[in-house]
Amino acid sequence: MREIVGWIRSIGFAVIFALVLGIFVFQPYKVDGHSMDPTLQDQQRIYVSKLAHTFNYLPNYGDIVVIDSRVDRSRSWKDDVTGHPLVGLLLGTGDDHSMYVKRVIGKPGDVLEFKDNKVYRNGTPLDEPYIKETMDYAADGKITVPANHIFVMGDNRNHSTDSREIGFIPVDHVMGTMIENPFSAK
C-alpha cells in the first residue's frame, strides 16, 4: 500500500509541475492555417516562452507571438489555467481556435500606415523579407497603437486575420513569444 501511495504522490507532483510549467513558463502550440506562410506551415508545432505573459512585458518588433484573439473581453488567471492543454483535455475545451500565431508590427505609441503595398511604422517603410507576397492592402490615414496594446500581422498578409480586422491586441492577450525549437537537430 505504501508503494501505491508513493506512486500516486509522484504522479500528482508531476502533473502539478507540468501545469505550472505550461501555465507560466513554456508551452507548445500548433499552427492552424496558412496566415504565417512561408515562415510557419499549417499544423507545425511551435514552442512558446510564456514569460512575457507571466511578467506582462512587451514582445519585440518582429517577434512571432501567440495571441488570444478575443480582444473584446478581459482575461483572467482562470483563462490561463483553462487554456493549458491538459486542463482543456479534462474540461473538453481542447480545440480552442481563439489563439492566433502572428508577428509583432507595432508597439504602444507607434504610428502605422498602409500604403504603396507596404507597412510604414513611424514614417519608415518596414523591411519585411519574411512576407509571402506583396501585400494587397491599403488604408486611409494613420493609426496609433494605444498604450498597453500591440499591432500584429500574419506573414501571409493577403490571407491573414490579424489586427487589421480584430483590432489592437491588449498586452495581457499575448500568451507568449515563439522560441527556436529546442528539440530540432541543427
For 41-59, how does the pLDDT look when each residue is reduced to its tens digit (9 = 90+)?
999 999 999 988 888 889 9
Give how far Cα 53 sits from Cα of 24, 173, 176, Å: 8, 8, 6
CA–CA separation, 2 and 169 (whole Å): 51
Catalytic-residue membership of 35: yes
Contact 65, 104 (CB under 8 A): yes
Vertex 148, ends 146 and 154: CA angle to 5°?
A: 75
pLDDT the model gives residue 41: 93
CA–CA separation, 47 and 144 (whole Å): 30
For 76-134, how does the pLDDT look when each residue is reduced to its tens digit (9 = 90+)?
887 878 777 777 777 776 666 688 999 999 999 999 999 999 999 999 999 999 999 99
Residue 62 pLDDT exceeds 90: yes
pLDDT the model gives residue 76: 80
DSSP state of 40: S
How many angstroms separate the first and last alpha carbons of the chain?
A: 47
Q: Which of 50, 69, 102, 132 is catalytic?
A: 102
Element holding 28 (H helix, E strand):
strand 26-30
**Higher pLDDT, residue 90 or 25:** 25
Predicted TM-score of the model (pTM): 0.84
DSSP state of 58: P
Cis peptide bond prior to 38, omega within 30° of 0: yes
pLDDT the model gives residue 96: 63
Residue 49 bridge partners (DSSP): 26, 177
DSSP state of 83: T
Grid cell 502605422 — which residue?
112
Q: What is the mean pLDDT of the chain?
A: 88
Residue 182 pLDDT exceeds 70: no
CA–CA separation, 178 and 65 (whole Å): 6
